[in-house]
């Protein structure tokens, strides 16, 4: 178990250490569940010395899933809201990634966690075989270790999105999409990104206990 964890971790860290390559972009992909809610009472408007006040009660309007792709070295991200979180939803998202966002890439190197839908099979469940194969040929899958989703940089983007955009009532899929589009556009314009500092030598020092053989003396 530990041996598999550390080799998957080091493989992802090696990928992050590579320079930007437009022909072979490294793109972190993940999903985020979101409840659709609306307040049961109109908020009280702001007044001098008083912020807008909302009642704590709300009503549920179902749920949706956000699909995000984040290219750290290019300071770029996109987020799509979909009604569900199925293999088919992921496949459609990946088709858009290949055809609209990276049409000139030779291969897109995906960093994903071990969710059961994160696999080329999702493409074949969704599209006819020729189309599934066309998309699959453009994708190279790199998995974080089990219980190691913290290695996927898109997790940091989820945290920023939750703080800056999702801390309010959003009651429809259309409104969610409008909000995340505006958030992603602003982040892209600002060239906001993640400055990843955790590299393989750090991992070998900090997580020495996970390595089957001692590595503290290794370079």
CA-based end-to-end distance of the chain: 23
Based on the structure, what is the number of domains in the chain? 1
Does residue 118 sit within a domain? Answer: yes
Does residue 218 sit within a domain? Answer: no
- The predicted model gives 10-16 an average pLDDT of 96
Does residue 42 sit within a domain? Answer: no
Residue 52 predicted with pLDDT over 60: no
Residue 67 predicted with pLDDT over 80: yes
Does residue 43 sit within a domain? Answer: no
- For position 173, what pLDDT does the model report? 92
Residue where the block lists tokens 């493989």? 11
**All residues at 6 or more sequence positions from 158 whose CB lies less than 8 Å from its CB, including other chains:** 30, 32, 68
Q: What is the pLDDT of residues 97-128, one digit of tens each?
A: 999 999 999 999 999 998 888 999 999 999 99
Q: CATH number, domain at 168?
A: 3.30.420.10
Does residue 219 sit within a domain? Answer: no
Residue 218 predicted with pLDDT over 60: no
Does residue 170 sit within a domain? Answer: yes
Average pLDDT, the chain: 90
Residue 60 predicted with pLDDT over 80: no
pLDDT category of residue 24 using cuts at 50, 70 and 90: very high
Does residue 161 sit within a domain? Answer: yes
Which domain covers residue 23, as residue numbers? Answer: 2-35+58-210
Whether the Cβ atoms of residue 131 and residue 104 lie closer than 8 Å to each other: no
Q: What is the pLDDT of residues 155-192, one digit of tens each?
A: 999 999 999 988 887 888 999 999 999 999 999 999 99
- For position 63, what pLDDT does the model report? 86
Does residue 28 sit within a domain? Answer: yes
- For position 141, what pLDDT does the model report? 97
Residue 217 predicted with pLDDT over 60: no
Q: How far is the C-alpha of 189 from the C-alpha of 9, rounded, in Å?
A: 31
Q: Would you give the distance in Å from CA 215 to the centre of its chain?
A: 31
pTM above 0.85, yes or no: yes
Residue 56 predicted with pLDDT over 70: no
């Amino acid at each position: 178990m530990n041996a598999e964890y550390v080799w998957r971790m080091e493989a992802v860290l090696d990928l992050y250490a590579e320079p930007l390559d437009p022909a072979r972009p490294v793109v972190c992909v993940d999903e985020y569940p979101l409840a659709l809610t609306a307040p049961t009472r109109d908020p009280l408007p702001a007044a001098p010395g008083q912020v807008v006040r909302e009642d704590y009660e709300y009503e549920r309007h179902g749920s949706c899933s956000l699909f995000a792709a984040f290219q750290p070295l290019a300071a770029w991200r996109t987020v799509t809201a979909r009604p569900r979180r199925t293999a088919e939803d992921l496949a459609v998202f990946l088709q858009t990634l290949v055809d609209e966002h990276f049409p000139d890439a030779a291969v897109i190197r995906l960093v994903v966690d071990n969710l059961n839908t994160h696999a080329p099979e999702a493409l074949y469940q969704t599209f006819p075989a020729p189309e599934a194969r066309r998309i699959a040929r453009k994708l190279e899958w790199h998995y974080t270790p089990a219980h190691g989703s913290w290695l996927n940089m898109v997790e940091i983007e989820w945290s920023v999105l939750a703080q800056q955009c999702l801390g309010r009532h959003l009651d429809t899929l259309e409104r969610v999409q409008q909000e995340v589009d505006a958030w992603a556009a602003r982040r892209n314009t600002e060239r906001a990104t993640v400055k990843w500092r955790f590299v393989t030598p750090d991992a070998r020092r900090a997580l020495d206990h996970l390595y089957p053989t001692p590595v503290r003396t290794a370079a």
